[in-house]
Amino acid sequence: MERQGFVLWLTGLCGSGKTTIAQGVEQALKKRSCLVEVLDGDAIRTNLSKGLGYSREDRATNLRRIGFVSKLLSRNGVVAIVAAISPYADTRDEIRKDTGNLIEVYVNAPLEVCESRDVKGLYAMARAGELLAFTGIDDPYEPPSQPDVVCYTDRETPAESIAKVLAELEQRELIPEKPRVEFFI
């Protein structure tokens, strides 16, 4: 049976675990024979949105571009997994309304946990004033008011968060259930 595509949009602070969850969900869906594409915020900024800054307007433009690409993929039967900070509620709401088939996942981790995971040193640079308009430090992050799934990555293992997302997708019948292994003697 051919499945319809949809957009799985992971939002949260830098270092919250969006990419880890996106990659885990991607692997699980590929094992279930789903067509999947991950649109990672960092990769999009490097390629599709090169030259955009970090003003509110530029961030909105970047997210609209990601939304447009994910919508194209989903209407062609692909599960488009977006892992992008997406700091502003109004932009996320606009994309959800335009896309229609979007599942929002709030990857929730406290700021201090995200800072402790920061392998690139971005939070330290932002706190030192070397990076301006950094989400969570001197630019706001507006948490979703009604996300479809919330992953608390300071209290859940990556496997638990991934399982939570997959369970929601199964419950909505967007993906095939995990095949059951039966043994016959």
- State whether residue 150 is helix, strand or coil: strand
The pLDDT value given to residue 2: 61
The pLDDT value given to residue 169: 97
The pLDDT value given to residue 37: 97
C-alpha distance from residue 133 to each of 55, 80, 91 (Å): 7, 28, 17
Which token pair is 19?
Answer: 């990419």
C-alpha distance from residue 31 to each of 23, 34, 79 (Å): 13, 7, 13
pTM: 0.92
Where would I find the beta strands (DSSP E) of 12-154? 36-40, 79-83, 102-108, 149-152
Q: Is 86 designated active site?
A: yes
The pLDDT value given to residue 184: 63
Among 55, 86, 116, 161, the active-site one is 86
pLDDT in tens, the chain (185 residues): 467 899 999 999 999 999 999 999 999 999 999 999 999 988 888 888 888 888 899 999 999 999 999 999 999 999 999 999 999 999 999 999 999 899 999 999 999 999 999 988 999 999 999 988 999 999 999 999 999 999 999 999 999 999 999 999 999 999 988 765 555 65
Quickly count: other Cβ atoms within 10 Å of residue 62's Cβ. Answer: 22
Q: Where are the domains of the chain?
A: 6-171
The CATH class for the domain spanning 6-171 reads alpha beta
